[in-house]
């Protein structure tokens, strides 16, 4: 099924937005993606804060405009994070994983474009009704947190049928052919995460890079065990797609003192056997650590 493509409301030479992955998509990566012709996004995930966002914004060269992504439950914990994001005047803002879309009007009143990630057709209809400038269709194939409900292409068709707004496809977008197929179905572009996790400019640690480069799609699982071990406030119905490791094999629940201590120690040692390493089903296409510009060029349709 295909639908007429809708123009994106921001200027790009390559219709790719890097997903605002917490702990991965900092100012250097966002700037590099924008400078190469896509739209770069700074991500503030579970550990996001006003101070962290400010530090990453300082890495964006003057005159280079990027987007920002934050998490609903995190900004509820620290409202100053959303205020800092709005004050930064990003090209595009997304507040993910929440039901209240009132932030859309606040951003638009400042002239900031908005994007909403959706996991099913009902979410797409809600984003459309709330006036989102861009809707991101996040298929079950995607890495990181989400409600992994529907195959990307099925959801893309469903959302395109109910809105006239530009739609970005997300989930296992790993090659130029993946991008071309999404565009042929009517997507206006792609929202890409995993492909940028080993980019030179990414914040990814050495241990996570090694694990990502060694992994294939069958190595990923859906789990909340790391969120439990870290004490993060993610809802129970929003697990994350991660690379399975010794920690996930030993712990079905991360809330024990033993699991929490092990998780903390693994992070301090940069030991991928006990770390949360987000990856989508396209992870098998990662072959090397490349500059973001080369990653973007390889995805260009």
Domains of the chain in start order, with CATH, are 16-202+287-299 (3.20.20.70), 206-269 (no CATH)
Q: Tell me what pLDDT residue 239 has.
A: 97
Beta strand 240-243 pairing with 144-145? antiparallel
CA dist 86 and 219 (Å) reads 38
Closest Cα to residue 159, out of 198, 179, 180, 188? 188
CA dist 38 and 31 (Å) reads 10
Phi then psi for 69, rounded to 5 degrees? Answer: -125, 130
The encoded tokens of residue 191 equal: 């929202």
Buried b (16+ CB within 10 A) or exposed e, 115-137: bbbbbbbebbbbbbeeebbbbbb
pLDDT higher than 80, residue 29:
yes
Mean pLDDT of the 38-46 span: 98
pLDDT band per the 50, 70, 90 thresholds, residue 149:
confident
116 sits in which H/E element: strand 113-118
CA dist 28 and 37 (Å) reads 15
pLDDT band per the 50, 70, 90 thresholds, residue 252:
very high
Mean pLDDT of the 32-41 span: 98
The encoded tokens of residue 56 equal: 């990453």
SS3 of 98, please?
Answer: coil
pLDDT band per the 50, 70, 90 thresholds, residue 236:
confident
The encoded tokens of residue 9 equal: 């409301």
Q: Are 173 and 190 in contact (CB under 8 A)?
A: yes
Q: Tell me what pLDDT residue 146 has.
A: 95
pLDDT tens digits, 155-209? 999 999 999 999 999 999 999 999 999 999 999 999 999 999 999 999 999 999 9
Q: Tell me what pLDDT residue 114 has.
A: 98
Q: Tell me what pLDDT residue 45 has.
A: 97
Mean pLDDT of the 85-100 span: 97
Beta strands in 50-112 (DSSP E): 67-71, 92-96
For residues 68 and 5, which has the higher predicted lDDT (pLDDT)? Answer: 68
pLDDT band per the 50, 70, 90 thresholds, residue 1:
low
Q: Are 170 and 117 in contact (CB under 8 A)?
A: yes
């Amino acid at each position: 099924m295909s639908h007429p493509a809708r123009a994106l409301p921001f200027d790009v030479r390559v219709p790719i937005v890097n997903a605002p992955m917490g702990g991965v998509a900092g100012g250097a990566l966002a700037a590099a993606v924008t400078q190469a012709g896509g739209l770069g996004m700074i991500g503030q995930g579970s550990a996001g804060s006003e101070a962290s966002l400010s530090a990453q914004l300082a890495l964006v060269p003057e005159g280079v405009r990027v987007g920002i992504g934050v998490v609903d439950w995190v900004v509820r914990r620290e409202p100053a994070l959303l205020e800092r994001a709005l004050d930064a005047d990003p090209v595009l803002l997304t507040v993910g994983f929440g039901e209240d879309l009132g932030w859309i009007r606040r951003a638009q009143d400042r002239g900031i474009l908005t994007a909403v990630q959706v996991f099913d057709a009902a979410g797409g209809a809600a984003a459309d009704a709330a006036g989102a400038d861009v809707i991101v269709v996040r298929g079950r194939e995607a890495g990181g947190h989400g409600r992994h409900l529907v195959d990307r292409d099925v959801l893309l068709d469903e959302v395109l049928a109910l809105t006239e707004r530009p739609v970005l496809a997300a989930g296992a977008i790993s090659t130029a052919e993946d991008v071309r197929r999404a565009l042929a179905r009517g997507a206006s572009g792609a929202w890409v995460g995993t492909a940028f996790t080993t980019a030179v400019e990414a914040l990814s640690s050495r241990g996570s890079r090694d694990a990502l480069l060694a992994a294939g799609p069958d190595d990923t699982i859906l789990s909340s065990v790391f969120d439990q071990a870290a004490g993060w406030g993610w809802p129970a119905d929003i697990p994350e797609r991660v690379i399975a490791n010794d920690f996930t094999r030993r712990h079905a629940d991360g809330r024990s003192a033993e699991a929490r201590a092990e998780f903390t120690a693994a992070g301090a040692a940069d030991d991928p056997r006990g770390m949360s390493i987000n990856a989508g089903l396209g992870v098998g296409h990662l072959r090397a650590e490349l500059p973001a510009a080369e990653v973007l060029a390889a995805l260009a349709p």
